[in-house]
A = this chain, B = another copy of it.
Amino acid sequence: MNIKTIAAMAGVSIATVSKIINNYSDVGEETRRRVLKIMEETGYRPSSSAKTLATKKSSLIGAVFAGKLNSDLNHPIFVEVINAFKKQIGLLGYDLLLFSNENFFEAKEDYLARCRHFQVDGCIIIAGDNVEPSIADLDQSDIPCIGIDIAMSGRNSTYLMSDNAKISAKVVEHFYMQGHREIGLLGIDRQSGVTSIRETAFVESLKSFGLALRPEWRLLSADYSMEGGYRAMKELIAAGGPLPRALFAVTDLLAFGAMRALKEHGLRIPEDMALVGCDDIDACLYSDPPLTTVRQDTEKMGRLAALMLFDMINHQIDPSAIVVESELMVRGSG
């Protein structure tokens, strides 16, 4: 079932059928109706590969998961972003191509080559920590790209991220308003990614309130797991020194770990220690007490990303980066 079949059935040339498909004006009204009817009846759909070959447009958006979360759809925040993105981009007539990055046959993951291979019209890059350098090629290429949680600098690229500095400021202010002065930070043993922005901004923010972060209250986890948060808090308690009365964990998972450690030692949340996480993953609602946290508006992030990318593809505008506001969700833990 191809364009030739339709043309033959309608008694017209394939050029005419093509013109009807693409809404050209130089087709007679009666002919158009006749061909349209046949297409409807036969359920004909033009081949995407032939169309792409001819037009160099694929109506496909490539999705790259870069850095530490390589290939991981299974990330509480990003899956929400990509989901919202997919919805919106679908409304705009595109489908999402998830690049596999498990192909050991290729020494290096050359995302640019893969984008060209599939002739994607645009690309979304979801970034964890330690993004691989090949992303830079994509960034600098002529393919419209939008980065999530990664700063892009290319002429056809832009990015979108939460205002991570503001997130920390909001938490500090929240603690301060509640009367807390003994405040700790549970962070990550790493110097890259959005969480490190949160950490430094948190310290800065404390300063602006005339507070300093005591070194022993700066807890460090080796990873983002609950286990990491648990261990860090255990160590702090074991050290026997005074504990902070409020703690900001740069990630909800870390907060859950800390929460467990605190409970094991009979400490109450928030009475003995107020606890605030970051990201607002689903589980915040299921924990006991429900975790106070900073909500990243993932739905908005995904939707905006799609809208921006669409604009870049179709009007080659050169947009500036987008910063999405976050919201403090005050629940039971602090």
Which A residues fall within an 8 A CB radius of B? 43, 45-50, 52-53, 58, 60, 71-74, 76, 79-80, 82-83, 86-91, 93-105, 110, 113-114, 116-119, 226, 253, 256, 260, 263, 282-283, 285-288
Known: A53-B53, A100-B94. A48 touches B287 (CB 8 A): no
Residue of B nearest to A93 (CB): B103
From B53, B90, B102, give the contact of A49 (CB < 8 A): B53
From B50, B80, B99, B283, give the contact of A286 (CB < 8 A): B283
Chain B residues positioned under 8 Å from A71 (CB to CB): 83, 86-87, 90
Cα distance A256–B285 when bound, in Å? 9
Residue of B nearest to A112 (CB): B43
From B46, B53, B87, give the contact of A50 (CB < 8 A): B53
Inter-subunit contact B86/A47 (CB<8 Å): no
Chain B residues positioned under 8 Å from A287 (CB to CB): 283, 286-288
Known: A49-B52, A53-B53. A97 touches B96 (CB 8 A): yes
From B43, B50, B52, give the contact of A113 (CB < 8 A): B43
Known: A45-B113, A83-B74. A226 touches B286 (CB 8 A): yes
From B45, B89, B94, give the contact of A116 (CB < 8 A): B45
Inter-subunit contact A103/B91 (CB<8 Å): yes
Known: A79-B79, A87-B100, A100-B96. A117 touches B47 (CB 8 A): yes
What is the minimal beta-carbon distance from A243 to any residue of chain B, in angstroms?
20
Chain B residues positioned under 8 Å from A74 (CB to CB): 79-80, 83
Cα distance A64–B79 when bound, in Å? 16
